[in-house]
Amino acid sequence: MRTDTKTGLVTGGGSGIGRATSHVLAERGHHVIVADMNIDAADRVVAEIEHAGGVASSHQVNVCNDEEVESLFARIRDEFGGLDSAVNNAGITGPIGSIEDFDLGAAQTIFDIDIIAVFVCLQQELKIMLEQGSGSIVNLSSIWGLTAGANYAAYTSAKHGVSGLTRAAALETARTGIRVNALCPGFTVTPMLTDQGLKLKPGTPEFDDVGAMHPMGRLGDPEEMAQTISWLLSEEASFVTGHLMSVDGGFVAQ
Ligand SMILES: NC(=O)c1ccc[n+]([C@@H]2O[C@H](COP(=O)([O-])OP(=O)(O)OC[C@H]3O[C@@H](n4cnc5c(N)ncnc54)[C@H](O)[C@@H]3O)[C@@H](O)[C@H]2O)c1
């Protein structure tokens, strides 16, 4: 049975942009399903949301595992009876390096998580939303889904895939009551940035150099991403679909 509370899914909701987005969606009246392969992180975010007076449930899922993805969406159908908002956010940067030396196993992992799994989750979300005749989806692309980063070829390719997938899905669903958009963040201070890839630690010259690559002279904050994702999902963006929205301090304007 559906209730007045909206249901929102955030993959990779246990950390960084996904965590901030889970909080904002809960503040805006969603029962948030915080889905992450790291169940401890997802449980922590649920506890934070509940502490703040919101409603959330955790779900352990590796978005690359088809059976686990199916059981996530079976739960969404059975327990929540539908899905209003979905954020396909789980992703990795992977190692940084030139194409000729790039480890093919690492490239495959990046493609599996950053584009194939987004396609698989999107497919499940659309099946539910087409049945109910409504819904809104935001996929996490990147500035590297609009332009290219040297030494990020696999990630750049995957994120361009997310951008194309978003536009294709928006066209297919434009007359169905469903909207599909993508967020394209600039470098944003999350564990992905500090622990993966360049391993940029705040306070170091390298961190400041990456901030300076953005015309506004700094890196992004997960909260800034979450607010924009929430807007794209909301009725305030009712005529917005197929949009690749950069939130990047002017990075792609250069
Ligand atoms: N941080 C940035 O600078 C930046 C810039 C542009 C785009 N993005 C994109 O934003 C999204 C979120 O990034 P973030 O910086 O918040 O990262 P993060 O590492 O802080 O969080 C990612 C979350 O995804 C989860 N996850 C990873 N692989 C998973 C899998 N296979 N199944 C389920 N969960 C999985 C992790 O456990 C983690 O909780 C990613 O798609 C990323 O590519 C980030």
DSSP 156-190: HHHHHHHHHHHHHHHHHHTTTTEEEEEEEE-SB-S
pTM flag (> 0.85): yes
Q: Are 48 and 58 in contact (CB under 8 A)?
A: no
Ligand 1: does its nearest atom lie under 6 Å from the Cβ of 12? Answer: yes
Find the domain containing 135 and state its range: 6-191+223-247
Ligand 1: does its nearest atom lie under 6 Å from the Cβ of 92? Answer: yes
207 belongs to a structural domain: no
* Domains identified in the chain, total number: 1
- Name the closest-CA residue to atom 23, ligand 1: 12
- Name the closest-CA residue to atom 7, ligand 1: 142
Among 192, 219, 228, say which to mutate for ligand 1: greatest number of ligand atoms within 8 Å of CB: 192
Q: Are 188 and 17 in contact (CB under 8 A)?
A: yes
Which pLDDT tens digits describe the chain residue by residue (254 residues)? 344 689 999 999 999 999 999 999 999 999 999 999 999 999 999 999 999 999 999 999 999 999 999 999 999 999 999 999 999 999 999 999 999 999 999 999 999 999 999 999 999 999 999 999 999 999 999 999 999 989 999 999 999 999 999 999 999 999 999 999 999 999 999 999 988 777 899 999 999 999 999 999 999 999 999 999 999 999 999 999 999 999 999 999 99
Cα 199 to ligand 1 centroid, rounded to whole Å: 14
66 belongs to a structural domain: yes
CATH number, domain of 176, equals: 3.40.50.720
Q: How far apart are CA 25 and CA 104, in angstroms?
A: 37
Index of the ligand 1 atom closest to the CA of residue 191: 20
89 belongs to a structural domain: yes
Q: Is the dihedral of CA 143, 148, 153, 159 positive or negative?
A: positive
128 belongs to a structural domain: yes
Q: Which is nearest to 135 in space by CA: 220, 47, 73?
A: 73
Element of type H or E holding 60:
strand 55-60
215 belongs to a structural domain: no
253 belongs to a structural domain: no
Q: Give me the numbers of helices (H) and strands (E) for the chain, helices first please.
A: 9, 7
Q: Are 46 and 254 in contact (CB under 8 A)?
A: no
96 belongs to a structural domain: yes
Residue 172 token pair: 């297919």
Q: How far apart are CA 72 and CA 215, in angstroms?
A: 40
- Name the closest-CA residue to atom 36, ligand 1: 12
Q: Where are the alpha helices (DSSP H) in the chain?
A: 16-27, 39-51, 66-75, 104-111, 117-132, 153-173, 191-195, 205-212, 222-233
213 belongs to a structural domain: no
Ligand 1: does its nearest atom lie under 6 Å from the Cβ of 226? Answer: no
Q: At 149, is the secondary structure helix, strand, or coil?
A: coil
Cα 192 to ligand 1 centroid, rounded to whole Å: 6
Q: Are 15 and 38 in contact (CB under 8 A)?
A: yes
Ligand 1: does its nearest atom lie under 6 Å from the Cβ of 15? Answer: yes
Among 15, 34, 66, 141, say which to mutate for ligand 1: greatest number of ligand atoms within 8 Å of CB: 15
Residue 100: count other Cβ atoms within 10 Å of its Cβ.
6
Element of type H or E holding 49:
helix 39-51
Annotated catalytic sites, by residue? 155
